[in-house]
Structure formats: C-alpha cells, structure tokens
Structure 1
Amino acid sequence: MTIRSTLLAPTGIAGALAGLFEHGMPFRLTAYDGSAAGDVDSAIRVHLVRERGLAYILTAPGDLGMARAYVMGDLELEGVHPGDPYDLLVLAMSRFTLRMPSPVELVQLLRALGISHLLPPPVPALEHAPRWRRLVDGAMHSKARDAEAIHHHYDVSNRFYELVLGPSMTYTCACYPTADATLEEAQAFKYDLVCRKLGLRPGMRLLDVGCGWGGMVRHAVTHYGVTAIGVTLSREQATWGQEAVKADGLDDRAEIRHQDYRDVAEGEFDAISSIGLTEHIGVRNYPSYFGFLRDKLVPGGRLLNHCITRPDNRLTRTGAFIDRYVFPDGELTGSGKIITEIQDCGLEVRHEENLREHYAMTCRAWARNLAAHWDECVAEAGEQTARVWGLYLAGCSRGFEINDIQLHQVLAVKPREDGSVDFPLRPDWLS
C-alpha cells in the first residue's frame, strides 16, 4: 500500500501546518512569512504572528502547543472574540483532527520550517508544572498538593470571578428550568433543587464540602432554615463567602471556612452537599472520600454528589491544556464508578440524573460574560489568564454538547439499622 504524502511541497509555513490536518482546515490560516492556507471564504481567521509561536506548536503537538502560542499572543484570531472563541472550537472539535506525519513527512516538514523550531521556548508564566514535577508539593492529592492545585485556579481574583460568573458567584453547573431562563435563575434553581433533593427542613444541619463562595450555604440557610458549614481550600473564596454571609445577616447560622474537608471535626449532619469537588479528589480516593462523608451523616441523612463525569467508567486524567492551565491533577470517571463507590461504602443510592446540556448552557453564559467584560477582566487578571478562560469555557461547552463530558447528580442516603430512610414513595423534588 502506498501512502500519499501531503507535505512534499508545503507552500510556506501555513501550507506546511495545514498538511497536518487530516480532513482539511475549515478556517483561514496565515503566517508571519506571508503564507496562507485553509478555507478562503471562512469568517474565522487565525494568524501565526511570530517564530516563537511556531516553536510552541512543533515542540508540544496538540492542544498544549496551540494553547501556549495563543496565550503568549503568538496566535491571533479574527472573526471570534477572544473571550468566546466558541465558533472556532466547534470547528476544531468537529470537522478536523490533527494527524501525526510519517517519518518522511516529518523530515520534510522540519526542513521546510527549520530545525531551530525544535528548541522549546519558555512556557507561559501561568502554566502549571507537569504532573511529574508536582511531587515537590507532595504525592497526588495530598493535602498540600490539593491546596496548591486549588490555589492555582481559584485564587485568581474575586473580582474576575464576579465579572465572569455573575451575581450568584457560583462556579458549578446551573440547572435551567426553561431554555430561556437567565444564568442567575438557573443557578438559584440548581441550589433549590439540591436543597429539595436533600429534604432540608428548618433546624437541620448541613455540611457543604467544596463550598466555593458560599452560594449553596447561603441559599439553604436563607430559604430552608438550616444551620450550615461550608469548607473550601481557596482562601479567596472563604474570605469573600464569609463576608457575604455577614452581609446577609446569616453569620449566626452559617459559616464559610478555609479548610480541607478532611479536617472537618464536627459530625452528626443531617445532609451533605458536594457540588463540584469530586473532580479534584482523585478517583483512587473515592472510597475514603465517600466513607468520610458517610461517617459525618446521621442515620437517615442524605448526601448529594454533583460532579463532572465521563460517558464511560474508565479513569481519565484531564488533557494537557486543562491540566496545565485550568485544573491541575483533575481526574474524571463515569457515574457508574461514582455510584459503585457510594454503594460500597454503605450508602444507598436513590436517584441520579445527567445535566450535561445544562453545563453546556452554563459555560456559554460564562463565556458571554467574559466577552462582555473583556477589558475589565484583562485589567484584573491579565490578558494571558483571560485568553486561557476563553479557550477553556468554549472547549468545555462544546465537550458537554458532543457528550465528551457529562455532569451527574447522585443522591444517596445513610440507612438506619432497620433499613428505614424516610424517603417519599416518589421523588417530591420533581413537583
């Protein structure tokens, strides 16, 4: 069998790079050497500004090299907003894939582009170290290493998050009651859904692990009359959240702590919510995690676990871009694995649902906020951080749309010795 080479006569840098795309390049690519390739009529154009960007692309093939070049300003976009490059990501994730050149093609490519571009430039300052170098912060998912990973992503700037997340300051999947609901309505509906699933009533005690800026705590205390403790590894979140608790006049019944969930000494909680934390704890730690939460519940108490999942139940570490720039040490698996571990620790699973379409809509809303407040976001956190967020939100939104990732809520209860759990015969949170 003869394999036809597509790189025998590259027409400049753009032509050589275009040859790496298996199904053609559906946007227009131009390069600093004056070359061009791709769809002439495309409204989306990508320009390679300088040689350093080419070195990034060649020394880290795939999304990491492209991200480095974009974050450093070596790739510029036309036809999409840097805060919301969704249309470009739709093309990138749907209509073409990068292929590995054959050895002959690789030699020809390097001759055309220059061997010097195999020397990797310094990586962007905000890029997290590769996994193997993070051992200085401790073993995977040690307390110290988890704290550093959370600090990397969540302690950017509370003002930046206010601009992107909106007034709810909620950085987890919303639940849209209708297709035309606003982001704020959807976030409030999500919190209320969790409260109803947990069966909260006045006088109950709630623990919210991975509480972020305290949205769940404040909603539950305000609307359901519980007392609540929220814990987060982000000092910035804890400071903001506790100030919000005081501003709402809830500090006699609510507390937001800067604390590892493993250090919570209190017990006898009637309900526990874990919204967006499981992604950070490591799949191998699920047994100890769910066992710890089980032991914090009273008999008959409920647990609601809400987290990003995969369509299958294999362990999947996040890709290079997400791992280095967004969620260091993040791991995902399927809802089946989560349900298995919850059951194996002695809790009874009573309900689960997939909200992946809701998370696609949530990410799109955050991206629109980022684009609308672009100049202020750049001034607050820097253009490199803003560019990372634009790529991240667009890519995640598309990932949820095409079922590459999902979002599951799993509701469980700690049975009493006689097996009773005080559940309604039919789910009363659906009414």
Structure 2
Amino acid sequence: MTPSSSQPGTLTIAEALASLLRDGMPVRFTAYDGSSVGPADSELGLELLNRRGLAYILTAPGDLGMARAYIAGDLALHGVHPGDPYALLTGLQGRLQFRTPTAAEALTLTRSLDLLNLRPPAPPPQERLPRWRRVVEGLRHSMVRDAGAISHHYDVSNRFYELVLGPSMAYTCAVYPTPDASLEEAQHEKHDLIARKLDLQPGQRLLDVGCGWGGMVRHAAREYGVKALGVTLSKQQAEWARAAIEREGLGDLAEVRHGDYREATETGFDAVSSIGLTEHIGVANYPAYFTHLRDRLRPGGRLLNHCITRSHNRHHPVGAFLDRYVFPDGELTGSGRIIAAAQDVGLEVMHAENLRPHYAMTLTAWCRNLVEHWDECVAEVGEGTARVWGLYLAGSRVGFERNETELHHVLAVRTEAGDSGGFPLRPTW
C-alpha cells in the first residue's frame, strides 16, 4: 500500500512514521494530514488526530509515546473497544520499536515533520514522574515512597474497582477449577487453594500482608474459622474491607489495618499469606521481606507467597508505561530468585506452582467487566484513567499468554532444626 502523496523531498506523517518503524506498520494508520499507510483491508487501525499526538509519539518513541497520545485523546483506536484493545495490541506487540535513521533520513524527517519546532507536550495527568526523578518522594521502597506508589494505583475509586473486579473485589490472579468457571468461582477457588496450602484450621491465626480489600482475610475467617489480620497501604482498601467485615458479621475473627506490612510486628502466626505484594517491594529488599515474614511465624508455620514473576531470574523493573501509569517502582523477577531469597533466610520451600494461564483468563474477565461497565467507569474516574486500564489489562493478558510474565505460588515453612515442618509425605491440597 502506497502512502498518500507528499511534496517532493518531503514525507507525509504516515510515510515518516512507517519509515521509522523497524518492521513497518502492521495495521492501518491514518493521520490528520490525510495520509495513511498499512494494510487497506485491516479491521484494526490507529488514527492520529492532531499535532500534539505526533509530538507525544516522536518525543517518546515506542510504547510510551503511543500510550501518552492515546490516553490524552490524540490517538484513536479503531476495531476495538477502549476497555479491551487486546486484538489491536496483539497485532502491535513488539512492532512499535523505532530504528535510528541515517543522517540523510533524519534531515528529510526534520523538514517533513517540522521537528525543529516540535516540543514535548506535558504528559497526561495520569502519569507519574519517571523513577529516577522520584527522589523527592524519598528513597525507593521507603515506607513514605511505597505509600505514595500504592496510593497512586489503589486509591483510585472503590466503585471503579467494584465494576472491574466484580463482587469478589480480588485484584490478583484467580484459579479456574474448570475452563468455563466464572470469575467469582475462580476467585473463591484461589482463596481456598491458598487456605488449603496453608492447612488452615479453626482457631489458628493468619497474617495476610498486602491484603487489598480483605478477600483472603474474610475467606479464612468465614470458611475456616481462622482469626485473620490483614494489612494494606491503601486507605480506601482498608475502609472497604472493614465495611465488608462488618457487613458479613466477621468482626470477631477478621481485622484489616491501614499500614505498611513492616509495621505488623506480632509473632506466633500459624500462617502468613502474601498475595500480590512482592511485586511492589523491590528485588533488593527480598532478604528483609522474607526475614520479616519468617519472624511472624511460629515454628512449623507456613508462608504462601503469590506473585507475578518473569520467565527468567534477572532483575527486571517494569516497563515505562507500567512504571509511570500503573505500578510505580514495580519490579519483577523469576520464581528461582524468589525461592532462593526465601531459602537464604532459613525458610524451607516445600512447593512451587506456576499459574500463568489462569492470569490470562483472569485478565480477560476483568476486561469484559470494563467493557460492560465502560460508561460508568468513565463517569467514575474519567476517560483517560479508564483508557489506562484498558491498555494495562489487555496488554498484561498478552504478556501472560506469551510467557513474558508468569504467576507463581511459593509455599514455605519455618522449619526448626530436626523438625519435619509438619508436612505430610504428600500434598493434601
């Protein structure tokens, strides 16, 4: 397909962008100057609406610039719903990398796009500072800075989360007992699987760090008669969880505190669950993190660590889009590094399980909810934030399907010298 014509010695916007992309434009692209490029019969497309959008794309080449233009309303997506742009993202995945132009090409691009007068626009208001500029917020993973990062993502709107997550208010990977199970059934199974792995028994004590809206705390209290304490850095989560505990009549067994997990200093717990917290604490802090959790356990007590992982064990901060819009200061690594960190502080790792396909299914369900409740979500948080969530959830689904990210359960026990750890010869869950 030949792009729309331009003046001799210059390029149209579509020609210019197509020439910069390493692999060409995989979908239909049109621009406000009337130019176009890409397959004419493609049902999927991008439409650049104005010069500010062009400035976003060219001053932050790659995924971040495209995301900024889309979130700001300067780039339209065609053929997909904004709550679930999965089909478009699968076509664009890995295809938005810019190559370095030659000197002659750079001169042509500068003249064609008037680059000398192109200035970086202010990022959309949903964007946080890049991690290297967050020094004003304190050292990375200090209590103050972590509180700000958690608030950025979780203190959005409890009503918004109700619409996207559904009645369970569980914002972590579900476990699907069957392919046709509902999201609610799968979230119930996730909590119950963790309870079974921890071998919870009536009268025991559970500490759930990073407890979110209290799903695990309430499940343990309601289904197992366990006295459960949850801790979350999100004030809105804590308020919602406390109301749910009161509504369900679980106040004699369940408690949720607003605070840092490091401020939970009680000891002697029979079990500790960490469901979706490890991604936020920083790889360098794993030794202190696992030491703190180990010290909360009685001898023979169990720890279940549930977190997103990479398919390798290298240190891997999340990408620019996730870091600035979704999980500030988030870091991921492989299950091997997590297991090693737990072992190095004296915990005995008994079992590990990869639930990667389940997270892709969970994300699909969340996107379905976002699409179904799109108008109400936009009314609640604004269209820009709703667009961030559509990109984030659908893009994460692609990552799990392609094994770029995984989800691991690591089950460990505080084993004393000469002790069996209280485990049977074979798993019972």
TM range (shorter): over 0.9
| Aligned residue in 1 for 2:147 | 147
Deviations along 1:52-96, one digit per CA (max 9) or x if unpaired, are 0000001011111111100000001111000100001101116x3
CA contact (8 A) 1:241 1:256 kept: yes
Q: Secondary structure of 1:308's partner?
A: strand
Q: Secondary structure of 2:208's partner?
A: strand
**Structure 1: distance between partners of 2:298 and 2:51:** 62
Q: CA deviation at 1:260?
A: 0.4
CA contact (8 A) 1:349 1:413 kept: yes
| Aligned residue in 2 for 1:4 | none
Q: CA deviation at 1:24?
A: 2.6
Aligned positions of 1:2-401 closer than 5 A = 11-93=11-93, 96-104=95-103, 105-116=105-116, 118-401=118-401
**Structure 1: distance between partners of 2:427 and 2:262:** 31
Would you identify which runs of 4 or more consecutive aligned residues in structure 1 move more than 4 Å?
A: 8-11
Q: CA deviation at 1:116?
A: 4.2
Structure 2: tracts of 5 or more residues without a match: 1-7
**Structure 1: distance between partners of 2:28 and 2:50:** 17
The letter for the 2-side match of 1:102 is P
The letter for the 2-side match of 1:73 is G
What percentage of aligned pairs have identical amino acids? 65
Q: Secondary structure of 1:237's partner?
A: helix
Deviations along 1:140-197, one digit per CA (max 9) or x if unpaired, are 0000000000000000000000000000000000011111111111100000000000
**Structure 1: distance between partners of 2:260 and 2:332:** 20
Deviations along 1:81-140, one digit per CA (max 9) or x if unpaired, are 00100001101116x342313232233222211124541011111110111221111100
**Structure 2: distance between partners of 1:182 and 1:50:** 42
Q: CA deviation at 1:10?
A: 6.4
Relative to structure 2, which stretch is displaced further, 47-56 or 96-105? 96-105
**Structure 2: distance between partners of 1:47 and 1:10:** 21
**Structure 2: distance between partners of 1:59 and 1:21:** 14
**Structure 1: distance between partners of 2:227 and 2:116:** 62
**Structure 2: distance between partners of 1:205 and 1:186:** 25
CA contact (8 A) 1:201 1:225 kept: yes
CA contact (8 A) 1:210 1:277 kept: yes
**Structure 1: distance between partners of 2:399 and 2:198:** 29
Q: Secondary structure of 1:144's partner?
A: helix
CA contact (8 A) 2:212 2:238 kept: yes
* Matched residue count: 421
2:421 equivalent to 1:417: no
**Structure 2: distance between partners of 1:11 and 1:178:** 53
Q: Secondary structure of 2:93's partner?
A: helix
CA contact (8 A) 1:58 1:117 kept: no
**Structure 2: distance between partners of 1:192 and 1:230:** 16
CA contact (8 A) 1:131 1:329 kept: yes
Deviations along 1:348-400, one digit per CA (max 9) or x if unpaired, are 00000111111111111101110110000000000000000000001100000
- Alpha-carbon spacing, 1:28–1:225, altered in 2? closer, same or farther (3 Å): same
Q: CA deviation at 1:217?
A: 0.5
**Structure 2: distance between partners of 1:331 and 1:359:** 18
The letter for the 2-side match of 1:17 is L
Relative to structure 2, which stretch is displaced further, 104-113 or 26-35? 104-113
CA contact (8 A) 1:11 1:35 kept: no
The letter for the 2-side match of 1:141 is H
Q: Secondary structure of 1:211's partner?
A: coil
- Alpha-carbon spacing, 1:280–1:345, altered in 2? closer, same or farther (3 Å): same
- Alpha-carbon spacing, 1:382–1:84, altered in 2? closer, same or farther (3 Å): same
**Structure 2: distance between partners of 1:301 and 1:176:** 27
CA contact (8 A) 1:12 1:33 kept: yes
- Alpha-carbon spacing, 1:421–1:117, altered in 2? closer, same or farther (3 Å): farther
CA contact (8 A) 2:63 2:96 kept: no
Q: CA deviation at 1:11?
A: 4.6
Q: CA deviation at 1:21?
A: 2.5
Relative to structure 2, which stretch is displaced further, 302-311 or 24-33? 24-33
**Structure 2: distance between partners of 1:286 and 1:357:** 26
| Aligned residue in 2 for 1:406 | 406
| Aligned residue in 2 for 1:3 | none
Structure 1: tracts of 5 or more residues without a match: 1-7
- Alpha-carbon spacing, 1:420–1:31, altered in 2? closer, same or farther (3 Å): same
Q: CA deviation at 1:23?
A: 2.5
The letter for the 1-side match of 2:109 is L
Q: CA deviation at 1:424?
A: 1.4
**Structure 2: distance between partners of 1:117 and 1:165:** 44
CA contact (8 A) 1:49 1:74 kept: yes
Q: CA deviation at 1:9?
A: 6.4
Superposed CA RMSD: 1.2
**Structure 2: distance between partners of 1:255 and 1:225:** 13
- Alpha-carbon spacing, 1:9–1:317, altered in 2? closer, same or farther (3 Å): farther
Q: Secondary structure of 1:428's partner?
A: coil
- Alpha-carbon spacing, 1:287–1:121, altered in 2? closer, same or farther (3 Å): same
